[in-house]
A and B are shown apart, each in its own frame.
Chain A
Amino acid sequence: MEVVRVERLGKTYPGGTKALEDVSFSIEKGEIFCLLGRNGAGKTTLLRILATQLKPSAGRASVLGHDVLAEPQAIRPHIAVVPQEARPQMLLSPYDHILYFCLIRGQSRAQARERTKKVMEDLGLWEHRDKLASDLSGGLRQRLIIAMAMVADPEVLFLDEPTIGLDPLGRRSVWHMLRELTRKGATILLTTHYLDEAEILADHLLIVDKGRTAFLGTVEEAKGDTGLGMRVIVEPAAGNGSAPPEVLEPRSAEEILAIVERGLREKRKITFKPASLEDAFIKIVGGSIEVEDT
Protein backbone atom coordinates (compact mmCIF):
# COMPACT_ATOMS: atom_id res chain seq x y z
CA MET A 1 0.00 0.00 0.00
CA GLU A 2 1.32 3.38 -1.07
CA VAL A 3 1.44 5.83 1.87
CA VAL A 4 3.27 8.76 0.30
CA ARG A 5 3.15 9.73 -3.36
CA VAL A 6 5.10 12.63 -4.83
CA GLU A 7 4.73 13.62 -8.48
CA ARG A 8 6.93 16.20 -10.17
CA LEU A 9 7.04 18.25 -6.97
CA GLY A 10 8.61 21.68 -7.09
CA LYS A 11 9.09 24.50 -4.64
CA THR A 12 10.18 28.03 -5.32
CA TYR A 13 10.19 30.26 -2.24
CA PRO A 14 8.56 33.71 -2.43
CA GLY A 15 12.03 35.30 -2.65
CA GLY A 16 12.71 33.32 -5.84
CA THR A 17 14.95 30.61 -4.39
CA LYS A 18 14.30 27.33 -6.16
CA ALA A 19 14.48 24.61 -3.48
CA LEU A 20 12.91 21.65 -5.28
CA GLU A 21 12.41 20.77 -8.91
CA ASP A 22 10.61 17.87 -10.53
CA VAL A 23 10.97 15.37 -7.68
CA SER A 24 8.91 12.15 -7.87
CA PHE A 25 8.85 9.05 -5.66
CA SER A 26 6.53 6.94 -3.54
CA ILE A 27 6.81 5.29 -0.13
CA GLU A 28 5.14 2.00 0.77
CA LYS A 29 3.54 1.28 4.14
CA GLY A 30 5.99 0.14 6.79
CA GLU A 31 9.06 1.49 5.00
CA ILE A 32 11.85 3.63 6.31
CA PHE A 33 12.60 6.10 3.54
CA CYS A 34 15.74 8.20 3.89
CA LEU A 35 16.26 11.58 2.29
CA LEU A 36 19.91 12.39 1.76
CA GLY A 37 21.61 15.42 0.36
CA ARG A 38 24.09 18.13 1.15
CA ASN A 39 23.13 21.15 3.25
CA GLY A 40 20.56 23.22 1.37
CA ALA A 41 19.78 20.42 -1.08
CA GLY A 42 16.04 20.63 -0.40
CA LYS A 43 15.55 17.79 2.11
CA THR A 44 13.81 19.85 4.79
CA THR A 45 11.68 21.62 2.18
CA LEU A 46 10.46 18.27 0.88
CA LEU A 47 9.78 16.94 4.38
CA ARG A 48 7.89 20.09 5.37
CA ILE A 49 5.71 19.94 2.26
CA LEU A 50 4.77 16.34 3.02
CA ALA A 51 4.09 17.22 6.66
CA THR A 52 1.63 19.94 5.44
CA GLN A 53 3.76 22.76 6.84
CA LEU A 54 4.81 24.30 3.55
CA LYS A 55 2.95 24.82 0.29
CA PRO A 56 4.45 23.30 -2.86
CA SER A 57 4.61 25.52 -5.93
CA ALA A 58 4.51 22.77 -8.57
CA GLY A 59 3.48 19.15 -8.86
CA ARG A 60 1.45 17.06 -6.44
CA ALA A 61 2.03 15.24 -3.18
CA SER A 62 -0.27 13.02 -1.20
CA VAL A 63 0.01 11.33 2.19
CA LEU A 64 -2.30 8.43 3.09
CA GLY A 65 -4.21 9.14 -0.11
CA HIS A 66 -4.92 12.79 0.72
CA ASP A 67 -3.51 15.73 -1.19
CA VAL A 68 -1.24 17.87 1.02
CA LEU A 69 -2.66 21.10 -0.37
CA ALA A 70 -6.33 20.24 -0.71
CA GLU A 71 -6.87 18.04 2.34
CA PRO A 72 -4.23 18.74 4.99
CA GLN A 73 -6.79 18.30 7.79
CA ALA A 74 -7.31 14.69 6.73
CA ILE A 75 -3.58 14.02 6.95
CA ARG A 76 -2.60 15.81 10.17
CA PRO A 77 -4.22 13.54 12.79
CA HIS A 78 -2.28 10.59 11.35
CA ILE A 79 1.20 12.06 11.17
CA ALA A 80 3.84 13.45 13.52
CA VAL A 81 6.95 15.51 12.95
CA VAL A 82 10.33 15.85 14.62
CA PRO A 83 11.57 19.18 13.26
CA GLN A 84 15.23 19.94 12.74
CA GLU A 85 16.84 21.64 15.76
CA ALA A 86 13.72 21.48 17.91
CA ARG A 87 14.32 22.22 21.59
CA PRO A 88 12.30 21.55 24.71
CA GLN A 89 11.05 24.33 27.00
CA MET A 90 13.80 24.68 29.57
CA LEU A 91 11.51 25.24 32.56
CA LEU A 92 9.27 22.24 31.93
CA SER A 93 9.99 18.66 32.91
CA PRO A 94 10.18 15.90 30.29
CA TYR A 95 7.05 14.37 31.83
CA ASP A 96 5.09 17.61 31.37
CA HIS A 97 6.27 18.02 27.76
CA ILE A 98 5.05 14.60 26.80
CA LEU A 99 1.87 14.76 28.85
CA TYR A 100 0.88 18.09 27.26
CA PHE A 101 1.50 16.73 23.78
CA CYS A 102 -0.73 13.74 24.61
CA LEU A 103 -3.46 16.15 25.70
CA ILE A 104 -2.96 18.30 22.60
CA ARG A 105 -3.36 15.14 20.54
CA GLY A 106 -6.81 14.71 22.08
CA GLN A 107 -6.13 12.00 24.65
CA SER A 108 -8.01 11.96 27.97
CA ARG A 109 -5.97 12.69 31.12
CA ALA A 110 -5.89 9.02 32.08
CA GLN A 111 -4.85 7.96 28.57
CA ALA A 112 -2.28 10.74 28.46
CA ARG A 113 -0.66 9.66 31.75
CA GLU A 114 -0.53 6.04 30.62
CA ARG A 115 0.87 6.91 27.19
CA THR A 116 3.42 9.32 28.66
CA LYS A 117 4.79 6.61 30.96
CA LYS A 118 4.94 4.07 28.13
CA VAL A 119 6.75 6.38 25.70
CA MET A 120 9.17 7.59 28.39
CA GLU A 121 10.01 4.03 29.37
CA ASP A 122 10.49 3.00 25.74
CA LEU A 123 12.91 5.86 25.16
CA GLY A 124 14.76 5.59 28.46
CA LEU A 125 13.41 8.90 29.74
CA TRP A 126 11.38 7.70 32.73
CA GLU A 127 14.21 8.11 35.23
CA HIS A 128 14.57 11.74 34.10
CA ARG A 129 10.85 12.52 34.21
CA ASP A 130 10.93 15.19 36.92
CA LYS A 131 14.13 17.00 35.97
CA LEU A 132 13.91 20.36 34.24
CA ALA A 133 14.61 20.15 30.51
CA SER A 134 17.48 22.61 31.09
CA ASP A 135 19.22 19.96 33.21
CA LEU A 136 19.08 17.28 30.51
CA SER A 137 22.02 16.45 28.25
CA GLY A 138 21.77 17.27 24.54
CA GLY A 139 21.05 13.65 23.72
CA LEU A 140 18.26 13.38 26.28
CA ARG A 141 16.71 16.60 24.99
CA GLN A 142 16.68 15.19 21.47
CA ARG A 143 15.14 11.97 22.76
CA LEU A 144 12.49 14.04 24.50
CA ILE A 145 11.56 15.79 21.24
CA ILE A 146 11.27 12.41 19.53
CA ALA A 147 9.10 11.19 22.40
CA MET A 148 6.78 14.18 21.95
CA ALA A 149 6.24 13.16 18.35
CA MET A 150 5.81 9.50 19.26
CA VAL A 151 2.90 10.04 21.63
CA ALA A 152 0.49 10.25 18.74
CA ASP A 153 1.31 6.71 17.60
CA PRO A 154 1.44 8.17 14.08
CA GLU A 155 0.87 6.21 10.88
CA VAL A 156 3.49 8.34 9.18
CA LEU A 157 6.41 9.85 11.07
CA PHE A 158 8.55 12.61 9.56
CA LEU A 159 11.94 13.09 11.20
CA ASP A 160 14.33 15.83 10.19
CA GLU A 161 17.81 14.82 11.32
CA PRO A 162 16.48 13.12 14.45
CA THR A 163 19.73 11.67 15.78
CA ILE A 164 21.83 14.80 15.51
CA GLY A 165 23.64 15.31 18.82
CA LEU A 166 22.96 11.81 20.10
CA ASP A 167 25.76 9.59 21.37
CA PRO A 168 26.26 6.22 19.61
CA LEU A 169 24.09 4.39 22.15
CA GLY A 170 21.39 7.04 21.90
CA ARG A 171 21.41 6.74 18.10
CA ARG A 172 21.05 2.99 18.33
CA SER A 173 18.11 3.26 20.71
CA VAL A 174 16.40 5.61 18.22
CA TRP A 175 17.14 3.20 15.35
CA HIS A 176 15.68 0.34 17.39
CA MET A 177 12.62 2.42 18.16
CA LEU A 178 12.12 3.33 14.50
CA ARG A 179 12.37 -0.32 13.49
CA GLU A 180 9.83 -1.22 16.16
CA LEU A 181 7.49 1.42 14.80
CA THR A 182 7.73 0.10 11.25
CA ARG A 183 7.12 -3.43 12.53
CA LYS A 184 3.84 -2.14 13.91
CA GLY A 185 2.97 -0.68 10.49
CA ALA A 186 4.20 2.90 10.74
CA THR A 187 5.90 4.50 7.77
CA ILE A 188 8.91 6.71 8.35
CA LEU A 189 10.52 9.41 6.29
CA LEU A 190 13.74 10.74 7.71
CA THR A 191 16.46 13.07 6.64
CA THR A 192 19.95 12.50 7.89
CA HIS A 193 23.55 13.45 7.30
CA TYR A 194 24.76 10.22 8.91
CA LEU A 195 25.19 7.90 5.97
CA ASP A 196 25.83 4.90 8.22
CA GLU A 197 22.41 5.57 9.69
CA ALA A 198 20.81 5.59 6.25
CA GLU A 199 22.74 2.46 5.30
CA ILE A 200 21.40 0.60 8.33
CA LEU A 201 17.85 1.94 8.32
CA ALA A 202 16.77 2.77 4.78
CA ASP A 203 14.52 0.47 2.81
CA HIS A 204 14.70 3.06 0.06
CA LEU A 205 16.54 6.32 -0.22
CA LEU A 206 16.36 9.48 -2.24
CA ILE A 207 19.43 11.60 -2.77
CA VAL A 208 18.54 15.16 -3.67
CA ASP A 209 21.05 17.60 -5.03
CA LYS A 210 20.21 21.23 -5.71
CA GLY A 211 16.55 20.36 -5.41
CA ARG A 212 16.60 17.62 -8.05
CA THR A 213 16.59 13.85 -7.78
CA ALA A 214 20.17 12.60 -7.96
CA PHE A 215 19.37 9.02 -7.01
CA LEU A 216 16.29 6.99 -6.05
CA GLY A 217 16.47 3.35 -5.00
CA THR A 218 17.87 1.01 -2.37
CA VAL A 219 21.24 1.29 -0.65
CA GLU A 220 22.54 -1.67 -2.63
CA GLU A 221 21.34 -0.08 -5.86
CA ALA A 222 23.10 3.14 -4.90
CA LYS A 223 26.36 1.26 -4.53
CA GLY A 224 25.73 -0.84 -7.65
CA ASP A 225 24.62 2.01 -9.90
CA THR A 226 27.80 3.87 -9.24
CA GLY A 227 29.91 0.80 -9.97
CA LEU A 228 31.04 0.60 -6.39
CA GLY A 229 31.11 -3.03 -5.42
CA MET A 230 34.53 -2.76 -3.85
CA ARG A 231 37.26 -0.22 -3.21
CA VAL A 232 40.94 -1.04 -3.28
CA ILE A 233 43.33 1.21 -1.43
CA VAL A 234 46.92 0.95 -2.62
CA GLU A 235 49.39 2.50 -0.18
CA PRO A 236 52.39 4.42 -1.59
CA ALA A 237 55.60 2.54 -2.26
CA ALA A 238 58.28 2.50 0.43
CA GLY A 239 60.35 5.68 0.31
CA ASN A 240 57.42 7.67 -1.06
CA GLY A 241 55.51 8.04 2.23
CA SER A 242 54.22 11.56 1.56
CA ALA A 243 52.23 10.54 -1.54
CA PRO A 244 48.51 9.92 -0.99
CA PRO A 245 47.21 6.34 -1.31
CA GLU A 246 45.56 5.37 -4.58
CA VAL A 247 41.86 4.54 -4.28
CA LEU A 248 40.75 2.24 -7.09
CA GLU A 249 37.36 0.90 -8.04
CA PRO A 250 37.80 -2.33 -9.98
CA ARG A 251 34.80 -3.46 -11.98
CA SER A 252 35.93 -6.95 -12.94
CA ALA A 253 38.02 -9.86 -11.65
CA GLU A 254 40.68 -9.04 -14.26
CA GLU A 255 41.05 -5.53 -12.95
CA ILE A 256 41.39 -6.84 -9.37
CA LEU A 257 44.08 -9.30 -10.46
CA ALA A 258 45.96 -6.57 -12.26
CA ILE A 259 45.97 -4.39 -9.14
CA VAL A 260 47.19 -7.28 -6.98
CA GLU A 261 49.98 -8.11 -9.44
CA ARG A 262 51.10 -4.48 -9.53
CA GLY A 263 51.02 -4.29 -5.71
CA LEU A 264 53.17 -7.40 -5.37
CA ARG A 265 55.56 -6.18 -8.01
CA GLU A 266 55.96 -2.72 -6.42
CA LYS A 267 55.80 -4.12 -2.86
CA ARG A 268 52.91 -1.92 -1.90
CA LYS A 269 50.30 -2.60 0.77
CA ILE A 270 46.83 -3.28 -0.64
CA THR A 271 43.56 -3.06 1.34
CA PHE A 272 40.20 -4.28 0.01
CA LYS A 273 37.10 -2.56 1.38
CA PRO A 274 33.44 -3.03 0.53
CA ALA A 275 32.01 0.22 -0.82
CA SER A 276 29.90 2.17 1.70
CA LEU A 277 26.90 4.37 1.11
CA GLU A 278 29.19 7.30 1.85
CA ASP A 279 31.34 6.33 -1.13
CA ALA A 280 28.24 6.10 -3.32
CA PHE A 281 26.91 9.41 -1.99
CA ILE A 282 30.15 11.22 -2.75
CA LYS A 283 30.20 9.66 -6.21
CA ILE A 284 26.58 10.72 -6.86
CA VAL A 285 26.78 14.31 -5.63
CA GLY A 286 30.53 14.67 -6.15
CA GLY A 287 30.09 15.83 -9.74
CA SER A 288 28.15 18.86 -8.61
CA ILE A 289 30.74 19.66 -5.93
CA GLU A 290 33.44 19.76 -8.64
CA VAL A 291 31.28 21.93 -10.89
CA GLU A 292 30.69 24.34 -7.98
CA ASP A 293 34.38 24.48 -7.18
CA THR A 294 35.46 25.42 -10.72
Chain B
Amino acid sequence: MLLVVISLFSFLPVIFIFVFADQKSAMQSLVGAIVLTFSFTGLFASQSVYFNKQWFRFQDMLVASKVSPASYAVGLSISGLVVALPGVSVALVLLLLSGPTTALGVLLLLTTSLLLWIGLVFVGFAIGATTKNARRANSIPQVLSIALGFLPPVYYPLDRLPAIAQPIAMLIPTTHAAQLAKYYFHLIDIPASQVAIGWGYLLGFAALMGFIASRRAHWVDP
Protein backbone atom coordinates (compact mmCIF):
# COMPACT_ATOMS: atom_id res chain seq x y z
CA MET B 1 0.00 0.00 0.00
CA LEU B 2 2.84 2.34 0.93
CA LEU B 3 4.50 1.61 -2.43
CA VAL B 4 1.28 2.42 -4.27
CA VAL B 5 1.16 5.81 -2.52
CA ILE B 6 4.82 6.41 -3.41
CA SER B 7 4.06 5.58 -7.04
CA LEU B 8 1.66 8.53 -7.10
CA PHE B 9 4.51 10.97 -6.41
CA SER B 10 5.32 11.39 -10.10
CA PHE B 11 1.83 12.89 -10.47
CA LEU B 12 2.47 15.67 -7.94
CA PRO B 13 3.89 18.17 -10.50
CA VAL B 14 0.68 17.75 -12.51
CA ILE B 15 -1.30 19.34 -9.67
CA PHE B 16 0.93 22.42 -9.70
CA ILE B 17 0.76 22.71 -13.49
CA PHE B 18 -3.03 22.28 -13.34
CA VAL B 19 -3.27 25.07 -10.74
CA PHE B 20 -0.82 27.51 -12.29
CA ALA B 21 -1.12 26.82 -16.06
CA ASP B 22 -3.77 26.07 -18.66
CA GLN B 23 -5.59 22.77 -19.19
CA LYS B 24 -3.51 21.81 -22.25
CA SER B 25 -0.29 22.11 -20.24
CA ALA B 26 -1.87 20.06 -17.48
CA MET B 27 -2.80 17.37 -20.02
CA GLN B 28 0.77 17.33 -21.32
CA SER B 29 2.10 16.96 -17.81
CA LEU B 30 -0.37 14.17 -17.09
CA VAL B 31 0.89 12.25 -20.13
CA GLY B 32 4.46 12.98 -19.02
CA ALA B 33 3.64 11.69 -15.54
CA ILE B 34 2.44 8.39 -16.99
CA VAL B 35 5.64 8.06 -19.03
CA LEU B 36 7.74 8.87 -15.96
CA THR B 37 5.88 6.45 -13.71
CA PHE B 38 6.86 3.67 -16.08
CA SER B 39 10.44 4.92 -16.36
CA PHE B 40 10.89 5.28 -12.58
CA THR B 41 9.61 1.77 -11.89
CA GLY B 42 12.08 0.49 -14.46
CA LEU B 43 15.01 2.49 -13.13
CA PHE B 44 14.29 1.68 -9.49
CA ALA B 45 14.52 -2.04 -10.28
CA SER B 46 18.19 -1.34 -9.53
CA GLN B 47 17.36 -1.13 -5.81
CA SER B 48 15.55 -4.46 -5.81
CA VAL B 49 18.40 -6.07 -7.77
CA TYR B 50 21.02 -4.71 -5.37
CA PHE B 51 19.15 -5.45 -2.15
CA ASN B 52 18.10 -8.96 -3.21
CA LYS B 53 21.67 -9.80 -4.16
CA GLN B 54 23.88 -7.95 -1.69
CA TRP B 55 21.68 -7.13 1.31
CA PHE B 56 19.01 -9.78 1.79
CA ARG B 57 21.02 -12.35 -0.25
CA PHE B 58 17.77 -13.75 -1.56
CA GLN B 59 19.27 -14.06 -5.04
CA ASP B 60 21.76 -16.63 -3.76
CA MET B 61 18.90 -18.55 -2.18
CA LEU B 62 16.92 -18.39 -5.41
CA VAL B 63 19.83 -19.45 -7.62
CA ALA B 64 19.96 -22.65 -5.57
CA SER B 65 16.38 -23.48 -6.47
CA LYS B 66 14.19 -24.17 -9.48
CA VAL B 67 13.81 -20.47 -10.24
CA SER B 68 15.25 -19.51 -13.62
CA PRO B 69 17.14 -16.25 -14.17
CA ALA B 70 14.53 -15.13 -16.71
CA SER B 71 11.59 -15.69 -14.37
CA TYR B 72 13.45 -13.92 -11.55
CA ALA B 73 14.22 -10.93 -13.76
CA VAL B 74 10.69 -10.71 -15.17
CA GLY B 75 9.08 -11.16 -11.75
CA LEU B 76 11.28 -8.57 -10.10
CA SER B 77 10.66 -6.04 -12.90
CA ILE B 78 6.93 -6.55 -13.14
CA SER B 79 6.44 -6.32 -9.36
CA GLY B 80 7.47 -2.66 -9.57
CA LEU B 81 5.13 -2.07 -12.47
CA VAL B 82 2.18 -3.68 -10.68
CA VAL B 83 2.66 -1.31 -7.76
CA ALA B 84 2.58 1.66 -10.17
CA LEU B 85 -0.55 0.57 -12.03
CA PRO B 86 -3.12 2.21 -9.71
CA GLY B 87 -1.52 5.60 -10.29
CA VAL B 88 -1.32 5.05 -14.04
CA SER B 89 -4.98 3.96 -14.12
CA VAL B 90 -6.11 7.12 -12.31
CA ALA B 91 -4.09 9.26 -14.74
CA LEU B 92 -5.56 7.49 -17.76
CA VAL B 93 -9.10 7.98 -16.48
CA LEU B 94 -8.39 11.70 -15.96
CA LEU B 95 -6.99 11.95 -19.49
CA LEU B 96 -9.99 10.21 -20.98
CA LEU B 97 -12.34 12.51 -19.06
CA SER B 98 -10.40 15.61 -20.07
CA GLY B 99 -10.77 15.34 -23.81
CA PRO B 100 -11.42 13.17 -26.84
CA THR B 101 -8.99 10.36 -27.48
CA THR B 102 -8.96 6.97 -29.17
CA ALA B 103 -8.23 3.47 -27.94
CA LEU B 104 -5.25 3.51 -30.34
CA GLY B 105 -3.96 6.67 -28.63
CA VAL B 106 -4.07 4.97 -25.22
CA LEU B 107 -2.49 1.83 -26.65
CA LEU B 108 0.37 3.77 -28.28
CA LEU B 109 0.93 5.80 -25.11
CA LEU B 110 1.23 2.56 -23.11
CA THR B 111 3.43 0.94 -25.78
CA THR B 112 5.81 3.89 -25.78
CA SER B 113 5.94 3.90 -22.00
CA LEU B 114 6.49 0.14 -21.86
CA LEU B 115 9.33 0.33 -24.38
CA LEU B 116 11.00 3.03 -22.27
CA TRP B 117 10.31 0.94 -19.15
CA ILE B 118 12.08 -2.07 -20.71
CA GLY B 119 15.14 0.02 -21.51
CA LEU B 120 15.24 1.45 -18.01
CA VAL B 121 14.69 -1.94 -16.37
CA PHE B 122 17.88 -2.99 -18.14
CA VAL B 123 19.60 0.15 -16.82
CA GLY B 124 18.30 -0.78 -13.36
CA PHE B 125 19.69 -4.31 -13.61
CA ALA B 126 23.06 -3.04 -14.83
CA ILE B 127 23.29 -0.53 -11.95
CA GLY B 128 21.94 -2.89 -9.27
CA ALA B 129 24.26 -5.71 -10.26
CA THR B 130 27.39 -3.59 -10.20
CA THR B 131 26.65 -1.45 -7.14
CA LYS B 132 28.53 -2.61 -4.07
CA ASN B 133 27.03 -0.56 -1.27
CA ALA B 134 23.55 0.40 -0.12
CA ARG B 135 24.16 4.15 -0.18
CA ARG B 136 24.98 4.11 -3.89
CA ALA B 137 22.16 1.68 -4.60
CA ASN B 138 19.75 4.25 -3.17
CA SER B 139 21.33 7.43 -4.50
CA ILE B 140 22.25 6.53 -8.11
CA PRO B 141 18.65 5.93 -9.29
CA GLN B 142 17.50 9.05 -7.45
CA VAL B 143 20.07 11.21 -9.23
CA LEU B 144 19.25 9.55 -12.54
CA SER B 145 15.55 10.08 -11.99
CA ILE B 146 16.17 13.84 -11.86
CA ALA B 147 18.25 13.70 -15.05
CA LEU B 148 15.70 11.51 -16.80
CA GLY B 149 12.47 12.81 -15.33
CA PHE B 150 12.40 16.29 -13.95
CA LEU B 151 14.96 18.14 -16.11
CA PRO B 152 14.03 17.01 -19.66
CA PRO B 153 10.76 18.12 -21.31
CA VAL B 154 8.52 15.40 -20.02
CA TYR B 155 6.07 17.33 -17.83
CA TYR B 156 6.45 20.43 -19.98
CA PRO B 157 6.62 20.96 -23.80
CA LEU B 158 9.93 20.69 -25.64
CA ASP B 159 9.56 24.18 -27.14
CA ARG B 160 9.72 25.74 -23.67
CA LEU B 161 13.44 24.93 -23.69
CA PRO B 162 15.89 27.38 -25.35
CA ALA B 163 16.73 26.33 -28.90
CA ILE B 164 20.28 25.44 -27.90
CA ALA B 165 19.05 23.03 -25.20
CA GLN B 166 16.53 21.21 -27.36
CA PRO B 167 19.03 18.92 -29.18
CA ILE B 168 20.54 18.04 -25.79
CA ALA B 169 17.09 17.12 -24.49
CA MET B 170 16.66 14.85 -27.51
CA LEU B 171 19.57 12.74 -26.27
CA ILE B 172 17.48 11.66 -23.30
CA PRO B 173 15.19 8.66 -23.83
CA THR B 174 12.35 10.01 -21.67
CA THR B 175 12.09 13.05 -24.00
CA HIS B 176 11.42 10.78 -26.98
CA ALA B 177 8.88 8.69 -25.07
CA ALA B 178 7.10 11.81 -23.80
CA GLN B 179 7.09 13.42 -27.27
CA LEU B 180 5.57 10.29 -28.82
CA ALA B 181 2.99 9.91 -26.05
CA LYS B 182 1.90 13.55 -26.32
CA TYR B 183 1.74 13.20 -30.10
CA TYR B 184 -0.54 10.17 -29.93
CA PHE B 185 -2.80 12.06 -27.54
CA HIS B 186 -2.97 14.93 -30.09
CA LEU B 187 -1.37 17.31 -27.59
CA ILE B 188 1.55 18.22 -29.88
CA ASP B 189 2.27 17.93 -33.57
CA ILE B 190 5.59 16.51 -34.74
CA PRO B 191 6.74 15.46 -38.22
CA ALA B 192 6.61 11.78 -39.22
CA SER B 193 10.42 11.68 -39.36
CA GLN B 194 10.60 12.64 -35.70
CA VAL B 195 8.06 9.94 -34.83
CA ALA B 196 10.23 7.37 -36.62
CA ILE B 197 13.37 8.67 -34.92
CA GLY B 198 11.59 8.47 -31.55
CA TRP B 199 10.63 4.81 -32.00
CA GLY B 200 14.06 3.99 -33.39
CA TYR B 201 15.75 5.71 -30.47
CA LEU B 202 13.65 3.87 -27.87
CA LEU B 203 14.18 0.51 -29.58
CA GLY B 204 17.91 1.12 -29.90
CA PHE B 205 18.13 2.32 -26.28
CA ALA B 206 16.33 -0.81 -25.03
CA ALA B 207 18.56 -3.07 -27.14
CA LEU B 208 21.78 -1.36 -26.05
CA MET B 209 20.80 -1.36 -22.38
CA GLY B 210 19.73 -5.00 -22.70
CA PHE B 211 23.18 -5.84 -24.03
CA ILE B 212 24.91 -3.94 -21.22
CA ALA B 213 22.66 -5.51 -18.56
CA SER B 214 23.36 -8.98 -19.93
CA ARG B 215 27.09 -8.34 -19.53
CA ARG B 216 26.78 -6.82 -16.04
CA ALA B 217 24.04 -8.75 -14.26
CA HIS B 218 24.92 -12.37 -13.52
CA TRP B 219 22.82 -15.21 -12.23
CA VAL B 220 25.94 -17.31 -11.69
CA ASP B 221 28.89 -15.13 -10.74
CA PRO B 222 31.96 -15.38 -13.00
Contact = CB atoms under 8 A, between A and B. Distances in A.
A87 B57 contact: yes
Contact of B66 (A55, A81, A106): A106
Given A54-B221, A85-B57, A86-B57, A104 B62 contact: yes
B56 A87 contact: yes
A224 interface: no
A105 interface: yes
A7 B44 CA distance: 42
A80 B61 contact: yes
B220 interface: yes
Interface in B31-64: 55-58, 60-64
Contact of A51 (B64, B66, B67, B222): B64
Interface in A75-105: 76-77, 79-89, 101, 104-105
B66 A86 contact: no
A76 B66 contact: yes
A53 interface: yes
A43 B65 CA distance: 21
B220 A72 contact: yes
A53 B60 contact: yes
A61 interface: no
A161 B66 CA distance: 24
Contact of A52 (B55, B58, B64): B64
Contacts of A3: none
A48 interface: yes
Interface in B44-95: 55-58, 60-67
B64 A79 contact: yes
A48 B57 contact: no
Interface size bracket, A side? 20 to 34
B2 to A, nearest CB: 8
A176 B174 CA distance: 56
B66 A148 contact: no
Contacts of A101: 61
A213 to B, nearest CB: 23
A77 B66 contact: yes
Interface string B153-175: 00000000000000000000000
B64 A87 contact: no
Contacts of A84: 57
A12 B78 CA distance: 36
Contact of B61 (A14, A52, A54, A81): A81
A83 B63 CA distance: 11
B65 A158 contact: no
A105 B65 contact: yes
Given A53-B221, A55-B221, A55-B222, A86 B63 contact: no
B56 to A, nearest CB: 5
B191 to A, nearest CB: 48
A164 B67 CA distance: 27
Nearest to A69: B220
Contacts of A54: 220-221
A48 B221 contact: yes
Contact of A53 (B55, B56, B220): B220
Contacts of B67: 104
A149 interface: yes
Contacts of B60: 48, 51, 53, 81, 83, 86
A208 interface: no
B65 A53 contact: no
A152 interface: yes
Q: Which 8 A-B pairs have the closest CB atoms?
A: A86-B57, A83-B57, A81-B64, A83-B60, A54-B221, A51-B64, A77-B66, A53-B63
24 contacts: A51-B63, A51-B64, A52-B64, A52-B220, A53-B60, A53-B221, A55-B221, A55-B222, A76-B64, A77-B65, A80-B65, A82-B61, A83-B60, A84-B57, A85-B57, A86-B61, A87-B55, A87-B56, A104-B67, A105-B66, A148-B61, A149-B61, A152-B65, A158-B64
